[in-house]
Amino acid sequence: MIGSASGSGKTTVGRALAIQLGVPFTELDSLNHRAGWVEATADELRELVTPIVDGDAWVIDGGYQGKLGDLVLERAELVVWLDLPRRVWLTRLVRRTARRIVTREELWAGNRETLRGALVGRDSLFRFAWGNFGRRRREYPARLARFRVVRLRTQREIEAFLRSASSVSSVSAFSRTPDVKCGPGERQASD
């Protein structure tokens, strides 16, 4: 499972990892967001996600813990937490959102990002991302303590992790690179 702030590269890293491991990739946003940005209910999302996580091997972008609880986390061999600095992911989020708005890129079920959706309102993309960043940093170490976690804090660490993934046949065989550090409440992937 790949977890992170919006714009940190979850989907890019998840797709690359799935290709390297030869396993299916699922972006939970694509299952959650219906036409008109209507979200699936917790039961609907659980019904879609359960068969995926019951599979032998997969990579999933996101955890949707508010709707799914620990369903994805409990079945993941490894949680990859992309914990990039705010200046990095925010810059990426601005660029990605601007590109999507300008090109009218279709996301899921015909939905497209809008300037209003990105900037205005309680549920705006930037407000959501900004607000969850601090909460995630405070809560993830304790919340993820019982799972196998790799916390990657720089692009260099992400690249090293992906290189190590391409040289193994199973996620369970991952070993940590020396420059990738775990914080309090985190364990190394090789534990």
Digit-coded pLDDT (tens) for 114-124: 988 888 887 78
- Return the pLDDT at 84: 92
Is the model's pLDDT at 79 over the cut of 70? yes
> Which residue pairs, CB below 8 angstroms and at least 24 apart, start in 85-91?
85/153, 86/130, 86/133, 88/8, 88/155, 89/4, 89/5, 89/6, 89/7, 89/8, 89/9, 89/129, 89/133, 90/7, 90/129, 90/130
- Return the pLDDT at 167: 61
Q: How far is CA 131 from the centre of its chain?
A: 16
The residue segments making up the domain with residue 133 are 2-173
When pLDDT is cut at 50, 70 and 90, the band that residue 182 belongs to is very low
In a domain, 183, yes or no: no
In a domain, 179, yes or no: no
In a domain, 84, yes or no: yes
What CA–CA distance (Å, rounded) separates 179 from 120? Answer: 39
Which residue(s) pair with 124 in the sheet? none
* Mean pLDDT rounded to a whole number for the chain: 85
In a domain, 181, yes or no: no
Pairwise pLDDT comparison (169 vs 5), residue with the higher score:
5
Nearest to 149 by CA among 71, 83, 66: 83
pTM: 0.82
Distant-in-sequence, close-in-space partners of 139: CB < 8 Å, separation ≥ 6: none
Distance set, CA 100 to CA 23, 167, 183 (Å): 28, 34, 35
Contact 62, 29 (CB under 8 A): yes
In a domain, 147, yes or no: yes
- Return the pLDDT at 181: 41
The enclosing domain of 109 has a CATH number of 3.40.50.300
In a domain, 91, yes or no: yes
When pLDDT is cut at 50, 70 and 90, the band that residue 184 belongs to is very low
The token pair at 162 is: 């992906």
Q: In what order do the strands lie in the sheet with 59-61?
A: 25-27, 59-61, 2-4, 79-82, 149-152
- Return the pLDDT at 132: 83
Is the model's pLDDT at 51 over the cut of 90? yes
Percentage of the chain exceeding pLDDT 90: 61
Is the model's pLDDT at 5 over the cut of 70? yes
Mean pLDDT of 104-111: 93
Mean pLDDT of 134-157: 91
In a domain, 152, yes or no: yes
What CA–CA distance (Å, rounded) separates 14 from 29? Answer: 13
Contact 75, 53 (CB under 8 A): yes
What CA–CA distance (Å, rounded) separates 164 from 185? Answer: 23
In a domain, 35, yes or no: yes
Is the model's pLDDT at 191 over the cut of 70? no
What's the structural domain count of the chain?
1
